[in-house]
C-alpha cells in the first residue's frame, strides 16, 4: 500500500508540476454587437514539444558509468548542431499542427461573423516534454 | 561503439525535422463567403547570416495580389522556424478569405 502511494505521489509530482509560459498574445478588433450578443468559442490545438537536453540530462541519471554519461553528452552536442535556430518553447516535429485552426473557426462559426478574436501562444512545461499550445477565443454572431 | 551508434541513431530520428512555432494569429470576419487564398515565404539563415530580409513583406504582397478587387478577411498567420544543421529557415504563412466586392 505504501509503495503504491509512493508511485502515485511520484506520478503526481511528475505531471502536476507543469508550468505555463506565455509567449504571445494578440487581439483583433472588437465589434461590440458581436461580443455582447454573440456566442463565445474557444479553440485549443497542441503539439508535444521535446527538450533533448533535458532528455539527455534525465538519461544520465540512470547510469552510473562516467563514460556512458560522457557519451550521452557528446551525442546530445552532435544532435544540437542539427537543431540550430530560434525557438519559442520546445521544438516540435510537426509545424503544421496549428493550421487546423482556420477550419475549426469555420466549424465553430458557420455564419463567419466573428469578432473579438484573441490569439495566445503558450507552453505547458513538463519534465523533458511540453505542450506547445495555440489558443484562439472569439465571439460568433449568428447570421441574419 | 555499437551502443553509441544506436543512441546516435535514436537521437537523430528524434531530432529529424524539428520546428518551432513562434506565433499564430487569426483576425475577424464579417460574414462574407469568399475564396481561400494563401501566401508563404521563407528566409534561409546560414550561420546567422540571413539571405532574404524582405520575406514577410513578400508574403503580404502575395496575399494582396491574390485579391485585387476585394477584401481579405479571416487572415490566419503562422510564423515558424525549421531548425537545421548550422542553419535554419524562418517561414511566414498567411491564409485568408478573399471577399469580392
Instruction: Show which of residues 108-127 on chain A sit within 8 Å of chain B, judged by CB atoms.
Output: 109, 111-117, 119, 121
pLDDT tens track for B42-75: 999 999 999 889 999 999 999 999 999 999 999 9
Q: Could you please report the per-residue DSSP string of A4-70?
A: HHHHHHHHHHHHH--EEEEEEEEE----HHHHHHSEEEEEEEEEEEE-HHHHHHHHHHT---HHHHH
Is residue A7 in a domain? no
CB of A143 within 8 Å of any CB in chain B? Answer: yes
Is residue A84 in a domain? yes
Residue B55 to chain A, least CA–CA distance (Å) = 17
* Residues on chain B touching A108 (C-beta within 8 angstroms): none
Q: Tell me the residue range of the domain where A67 lies.
A: 18-140
Q: A–B: how many Cβ contacts below 8 A?
A: 148
Is residue A6 in a domain? no
Is residue A28 in a domain? yes
Is residue A11 in a domain? no
Element (H, E) at B67: none
Compute the distance between CA of residue A1 and CA of residue A127 in angstroms, rounded to an integer.
27
What is this structure's pTM? 0.83
Mean pLDDT, chain B, as a whole number? 88
* Residues on chain B touching A22 (C-beta within 8 angstroms): none
The residue extents of the domains of chain B are 17-100
Is residue A52 in a domain? yes
Of A75, A90, A116, nearest to B11 by CB-CB distance is A75
Q: Which residue of B has its CA nearest to A132?
A: B21
More confident residue, A136 or A34: A136
pLDDT on residue B87: 93
How big is chain B by its Cα radius of gyration, in Å?
Answer: 19
Give the percent of chain A with pLDDT over 70.
Answer: 92
Q: Which residue has the cell 463567403?
A: B33
Is residue A65 in a domain? yes
pLDDT tens track for A37-70: 999 999 999 999 999 888 888 888 888 888 888 8
pLDDT tens track for A79-112: 888 889 999 999 999 999 999 999 999 999 999 9
* Residues on chain A touching B29 (C-beta within 8 angstroms): 109, 112-114
pLDDT on residue B54: 94
Counted domains in chain A:
1
* Residues on chain A touching B11 (C-beta within 8 angstroms): 52, 75-76, 78-79
Q: Do A92 and B20 touch (CB under 8 A)?
A: yes
Q: Do A119 and B86 touch (CB under 8 A)?
A: no
Amino acid at each position: 500500500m505504501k509503495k503504491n502511494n509512493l508511485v502515485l505521489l511520484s506520478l503526481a509530482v511528475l505531471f502536476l508540476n507543469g508550468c505555463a509560459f506565455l509567449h504571445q498574445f494578440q487581439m483583433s478588433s472588437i465589434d461590440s454587437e458581436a461580443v455582447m450578443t454573440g456566442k463565445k468559442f474557444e479553440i485549443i490545438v497542441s503539439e508535444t514539444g521535446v527538450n533533448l537536453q533535458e532528455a539527455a540530462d534525465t538519461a544520465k541519471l540512470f547510469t552510473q558509468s562516467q563514460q556512458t554519461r560522457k557519451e550521452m553528452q557528446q551525442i546530445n552536442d552532435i544532435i544540437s548542431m542539427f537543431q540550430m535556430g530560434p525557438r519559442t518553447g520546445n521544438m516540435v516535429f510537426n509545424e503544421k499542427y496549428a493550421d487546423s485552426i482556420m477550419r475549426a473557426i469555420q466549424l465553430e462559426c458557420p455564419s463567419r461573423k466573428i469578432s473579438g478574436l484573441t490569439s495566445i501562444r503558450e507552453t505547458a512545461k513538463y519534465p523533458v516534454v511540453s505542450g506547445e499550445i495555440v489558443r484562439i477565443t472569439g465571439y460568433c454572431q449568428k447570421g441574419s | 561503439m555499437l551502443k553509441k551508434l544506436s543512441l546516435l541513431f535514436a537521437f537523430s530520428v528524434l531530432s529529424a525535422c524539428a520546428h518551432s512555432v513562434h506565433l499564430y494569429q487569426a483576425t475577424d470576419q464579417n460574414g462574407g463567403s469568399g475564396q481561400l487564398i494563401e501566401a508563404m515565404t521563407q528566409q534561409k539563415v546560414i550561420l546567422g547570416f540571413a539571405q532574404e530580409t524582405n520575406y514577410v513583406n513578400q508574403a503580404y504582397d502575395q496575399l494582396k495580389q491574390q485579391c485585387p478587387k476585394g477584401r481579405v478577411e479571416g487572415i490566419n498567420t503562422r510564423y515558424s522556424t525549421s531548425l537545421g544543421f548550422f542553419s535554419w529557415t524562418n517561414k511566414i504563412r498567411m491564409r485568408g478569405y478573399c471577399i469580392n466586392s
